[in-house]
Homo-oligomer: A and B are copies of this chain.
Amino acid sequence: MVINQNSVKTGLPRSYHHGALRPALIAAAEAVLAETGVDRFSLRETARRAGVSASAPAHHFGDARGLLTALAAAAFVELGDALESASRTLQGAQAVRAMGVAYVGFALGQRASFDLMWRESLLDCSNAEYAAAARRAFSLLDRAVRGEAGGTCAPTDPAAAPAVAAWAMVHGFARLALDGTFGLDNAAPQHAADMLLPAVLDHLEV
């Protein structure tokens, strides 16, 4: 298959068919999301960036919700990867701690994606890829917290309470930081994470 990348980038005319529009739209959407924030995301702007008409995305994602769900699923995969690599060589409390730092780091580093991941009203939460990616992220945390026993049960299972506690603490910290509790300027969340997060994690008993 001949791949005709976007003429916006190359300057060359591209043929009628894009050739790899799906990934191009994902990339454009991520850029739009990061720049405008989740509340101002626009499908039309995404199409504009990808150099196609406003109706083109419908062929690949159905509607805006479909595209955003794909984005959120990808973000959960990335979060899972970050948790995994942060804790790879560690065990027990050390692993949990490293995951907590990585979790907050992800949230602060990819704010718009992190916002999107939890915005039910914009997503198709029953989408299989989305659900699986979200589930995996939790399982990684559960396994770190409970060792061999962890990683197989749902967050609703009473046995998962220690993992939920860890998750809640880092999730809440990230949200408070992003939502301006530690200051409204852009650097405040990172500053708070650096100064406060280690001490905060000391109050998590796992």
* Chain A: interface size category: 35 or more
Listed residue (A120, A125, A196, A201) with the most chain B CB atoms within 10 angstroms of its CB: A196
Shortest CB distance A101–B (Å): 14
Shortest CB distance A40–B (Å): 8
Q: How many copies does the complex hold?
A: 2
List A139-162 residues whose CB lies under 8 Å from chain B: 155-156, 158, 160-162
Among B120, B126, B172, B201, contact of A171 (Cβ-Cβ < 8 Å):
B172
Q: Is A19 an interface residue (CB 8 A)?
A: no
Residues of A within 8 A of B (CB): 37, 39, 118-121, 125-126, 134, 138, 155-156, 158, 160-162, 164-176, 179-184, 192, 195-196, 199-206
